[in-house]
Amino acid sequence: MANSSRKKRTIALCGGGSSAHILIAMAGRLENIEVRAWVMDSELEAFRQADEVLCEVSGPNESDAFECRGTATYASDPAEVIRGADVVIFCGPISIYPTWMKGIGPHLGEDTIVGGLFLQGIHLPAMGKKLGFPDSITYFGFGLYPFASRIVTFGSHVKILGAKTFVNICVAGPSAQEVIPFFEELIATPLEFRRQSHFLACVMNTTNALTHPARMHGIFKDWDGPGTTWDESDIPLFYEDMDAYSATSLERLNAEALQIRDVIMDKHPQVDLSGVRSRLEIFKSYGDNIGDPTSLLTCYRTNLAYKGITTPVEKTGVAGKVKCPAGHRYFQDDIPFGLCVFRYLADRVDVETPEMDRLIEWGQRIMQKEYLIDGKLRGKDVTDIPIWGYTLQDLIAH
C-alpha cells in the first residue's frame, strides 16, 4: 500500500457501477483515503461478501497492465455514507444524478466537494443552487469518463479495457484548487486533467450524447413498433462493425453541436467553450489505443478499448430473436440527457438542428416519451431534460 502524506479524506461513492468498483480498488493504494459506498439494498450482499474489489487494467502494451485492490464500507442509507464525507462522487448512469442530488442534500457538510466522473447534460452548480445547497459546496464534473470498463463479477472484480490519456474537467466553488490534485492521486492510470472555464463545457458533452443515438439508429432504424424483432445473428458489434450510415449521422450531429457552441460563444464572448470538441478530436484522448485515426469510422473500428463490445438488445423469449432495448441507458440517458439538452440550448440561441430532431423523434417513439412535437420541445416529458427551466444566464454563471 502506498504511503501518502496528502490530506486524509473520506470519499462517498453514490452507486455500485463500474466506476465505483474502480475507485474502491484504486483507493486501496492509498493510506489517506477512506471509502464508503451508497448502494441499493439489492447490491449490498454482493459487495459485503467480497473481501475486496479487484481492478485489472489493460493497455495497448503489456507493460501498461497492472492490478489494484481495495475495500470500502457499504450502506443503503445515504445518511450513513454521506454524513462527514469530504468528497461525494456519483458512480452510475447520469439519469440517476438528479435523484442522488436530492438524496445527499440533507447530509452534506458545509465544505463538501460533489461531482461525477462523467457529466453530460447536468449543470451541478445550477442544480445545487436550486436545491438550496450551501454556497460553500464545490462542484466538479469530468467531460469524459476516464475508462472503458466492464464489471466481471459484481461487487468484487472489474476490468479497465482502455484508459484515456486526458479528460476535460469542470470545477466551481471555494475548494476548486483541491479537486485536480485529489484525482491525480486517486486515479492510478496516467491522466492529464484539462480544466474548463465553464461548467457548460462539460454539460455539452459530445461523446455518448451523440455517439449512442447515432449508432443505435444505424442498427435499429427499421423499428416499426414494440413488436419489431431482429435475428440476433444479424446484430453487429457496436463499435468494431461501425458502418458509414452511423458515422455520417454522427458527423451531422457533431456539426450541429459545434454550431450551438460557436453561437453561444459569439453571443457571450466571456464564455469559453473551446473544450466542446468534435468526436474525432476527442478520440485523441485514447492515444495508442486507436489503430487508424483517419476518420470517425476508422477510429471506432480500430479502438482497442472498444474491441468486442456488443450491441445492447432486449431478449424476446423466442430463440434467436431480439428487440431494440428501449430501457437501455443509450436511450434513457442519451436522449433526454444528451440530444434534448443540445436541442434545448439550440432553442436559446436560434440554431436549427435537423439531425438531432430526426433522432429525438425516432428515439422518443421507442421510449414512449414525448419531447419534440411538430419541431418544438413542448411534449409532456420535457421536464425529464435536466436543464429544463434554466435560462442560458443560469448555465453560464459558472
Q: Of 118, 122, 90, 119, which Cα lies nearest the Cα of 104?
A: 90
Give the CA distances from residue 5 to residues 1, 9, 181, 185, in Å, rounded to whole numbers and listed in that order: 13, 12, 13, 11
* Cα first-last separation, the chain: 38
Please give the residue range of the domain that contains residue 81.
9-196
Q: What is the pLDDT of residue 306?
A: 87
Grid coordinates in use for 79?
445518511
**Residues 172 and 75 occupy one common structural domain:** yes
In the sheet that holds 314-315, the strands lie side by side as 230-231, 321-323, 314-315
Strand locations in 273-397 (E): 314-315, 321-323, 372-373, 376-377
Q: What is the pLDDT of residue 360?
A: 98
Dihedrals phi, psi of 222, to nearest 5 degrees: -85, 10
Q: Cα separation of 305 and 368, whole Å?
A: 33
State how far the Cα of 305 lies from the Cα of 162, in Å rounded to an integer: 4
Contacts of 280 (CB under 8 A, 6+ apart): 254, 295, 296, 299
Residue 326's nearest CA partner among 242, 248, 241, 216 is 216
What CATH number is attached to the domain comprising 238?
1.10.1040.10
Q: What is the pLDDT of residue 384?
A: 94
Over the chain (398 residues), the average pLDDT of each successive run of 10 is 63 96 96 96 93 89 88 97 97 92 96 94 93 96 89 96 88 95 95 90 89 97 96 96 96 96 95 86 81 91 90 96 96 96 97 98 98 97 95 87
Residue 202 lies in a domain: no
The CA-CA-CA angle for residues 302, 303, 307, to 5°, reads 90
Q: Does a structural domain hold residue 1?
A: no
Tell me how many domains the chain contains.
Answer: 2
Task: Read off the DSSP letter of residue 121.
Answer: S
Using left for φ > 0, alpha for ψ between -120 and 50, and beta otherwise, residue 132 falls in left
Q: How far apart are CA 281 and CA 276, in angstroms?
A: 10
Cα–Cα separations (whole angstroms), residue 366 to 224, 227, 316: 9, 11, 16
State residue 152's pLDDT score.
96
Do 110 and 214 belong together in one domain? no
- In terms of domains, do 226 and 168 share one? no
pLDDT tens profile 129-180: 999 999 999 999 998 889 989 999 999 999 998 888 888 899 999 999 999 9
Q: What are the Cα distances from residue 283, in Å, to 33, 143, 195, 286?
A: 32, 13, 18, 6
Mean pLDDT of the chain: 93
The confidence score (pLDDT) of residue 2 equals 41
- Whether 252 is covered by a domain: the verdict is yes
Task: Please check whether residues 168 and 230 belong to one and the same domain.
Answer: no
The bridge status of strand 147-153 relative to strand 192-196 is: unpaired
Whether residues 118 and 247 fall in one domain: no
Report d(CA 255, CA 257) in Å as an integer. Answer: 6
Q: Are residues 214 and 182 in the same domain?
A: no
Q: Transcribe 198-253 into DSSP letters.
A: STHHHHS--SHHHHHHHHHHHHHTT--STT--EEGGGPPPTTTT--HHHHHHHHHH
CATH of residue 143 = 3.40.50.720
> Of 196, 221, 247, which residue sits at a domain end?
196
Is the same domain home to 90 and 186? yes
Nearest of 185, 238, 212, 192 to residue 362 by alpha carbon:
212
DSSP 146-211: SEEEEEEETTTEEEEEEE-SEEEEEEESTTHHHHHHHHHHH--S--EEEEESSTHHHHS--SHHHH
Q: Are 156 and 183 in contact (CB under 8 A)?
A: no
